């Protein structure tokens, strides 16, 4: 049986737990981000980090909507970065 590391999703759950009382707007965004850490397979279309990282799909094959969604999600998160 293979064990998969789910560091990305566990960090999201940790961020939700640590911010649920103090920053509800940030917590509301985090579940949407989990899709970037979904488990990938060679047959997936691959609009997520794992597909690119594991060589299933090169980011140059993403369509414009995929990139726009990524940039929008980064922008949503960046206002909570505190730097």
17 band by pLDDT with thresholds 50, 70 and 90? very high
Is residue 10 very low, low, confident or very high in pLDDT (cuts 50, 70, 90)? confident
Q: Where are the beta strands (DSSP E) in 9-81?
A: none
Residue ranges per structural domain of the chain = 7-78
User: For residue range 25-62, what is the model confidence (pLDDT) as tens digits?
Assistant: 999 999 888 877 766 666 656 555 555 655 556 666 67
Q: Which has the closest alpha carbon to 15: 2, 28, 3?
A: 28
Token pair in block for residue 26: 């940030």
Q: Which two tokens stand for residue 19?
A: 């911010």
Structure confidence at residue 71 (pLDDT) = 85
- Whole-number Å distance between alpha carbons of 13 and 52: 23
């Amino acid at each position: 049986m293979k064990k998969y590391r789910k560091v990305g999703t566990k960090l999201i759950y940790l961020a939700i737990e640590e911010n649920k009382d103090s920053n509800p707007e940030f917590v509301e965004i985090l579940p949407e981000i989990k899709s970037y850490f979904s488990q990938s397979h060679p047959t997936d279309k691959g609009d997520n980090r794992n597909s690119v990282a594991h060589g299933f799909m090169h980011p140059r094959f993403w369509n414009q909507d995929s990139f726009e969604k990524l940039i929008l999600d980064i922008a949503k998160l960046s206002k909570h970065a505190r730097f």
